[in-house]
Amino acid sequence: MENKLYTLIVHSENFAGLLSQVTAVFTRLQINIESLNVSASSIEGVHKYTITACTDRNNIEKVVKQVEKKIEVLQAQFFTDDEIYSHEIALYKVSMSEFESQSEASKVVRQYNAHIVEVNPVFAIVEKNGSSEDISALYRELSALNCVLQFVRSGRVTIPKSCIEPVSQYLNDRAKEHTNKKKK
Partner 1 sequence: MKNELISGGEIFIRSLKDHGVGTIFGYPGGAIMKVFDALYDYRKTLHHVLVRHEQGAIHAAQGFARSSGEVGVCLVTSGPGATNTITGIADAMIDSTPVVVIAGQVSTDMLGTDAFQEIDLVGVTQPITKWSFQIRNPEDVAWAVARAFYIAKSGRPGPVVLDFTKNAQIEKAQYRPTTIDFIRSYVPIPATELGAVECAAALINTAQRPLVLVGQGVELGDAQKELLAFIEKAQLPVACTLLGLSALPSNHPLNKGMLGMHGNLGPNVNTNNCDVLIAVGMRFDDRVTGNLATYAKQAQVIHFDIDPAEINKNVPVDIAVLGDCKETLVAVTEQLVPTRHAEWLKTFTSYEREENEKVILPELHPTNDHLSMGEVARAVSEATAHKAILVTDVGQNQMMAARYFKYTQNRSIITSGGLGTMGFGLPAAIGATFGRPDRMVCSFMGDGGLQMNIQELGTIMEQKAPVKIILLNNNYLGNVRQWQEMFFEHRYSFTPMMNPDYGEIAGAYGIPFKRATTREELQEAIAEMVATDGPFFLEARVIEEGSVMPMIPPGGTVSQMLLEC
User: Chain centroid to CA 126: how far?
Assistant: 20
| Cβ neighbours for 161, distance < 8 A, ≥ 6 positions apart | 83, 84, 85
Compute the least distance from the CB of residue 156 to partner 1, in Å. 24
Contact with partner 1 (CB under 8 A) among 74, 114, 124, 147: 74
Q: Does 165 bind partner 1 (CB under 8 A)?
A: no
CA R_g for the chain:
21
Q: Residue count at the site for partner 1 (CB under 8 A)? A: 24
Q: Does 55 bind partner 1 (CB under 8 A)?
A: no
Contact with partner 1 (CB under 8 A) among 72, 83, 104, 127: 72
Given a contact cutoff of 8 angstroms between Cβ atoms, the answer to whether 63 and 31 are in contact is yes
Compute the least distance from the CB of residue 179 to partner 1, in Å. 10
Q: Does 69 bind partner 1 (CB under 8 A)?
A: yes
**Helices and strands counted in the chain (H then E):** 6, 9
Identify which of 3, 1, 22 has the alpha carbon closest to the alpha carbon of residue 11. 22
User: Where do contacts with partner 1 occur on this chain (CB under 8 A)?
Assistant: 12-13, 17, 20-21, 24, 28, 58, 61-62, 65-66, 68-69, 71-74, 171, 174-175, 177-178, 181
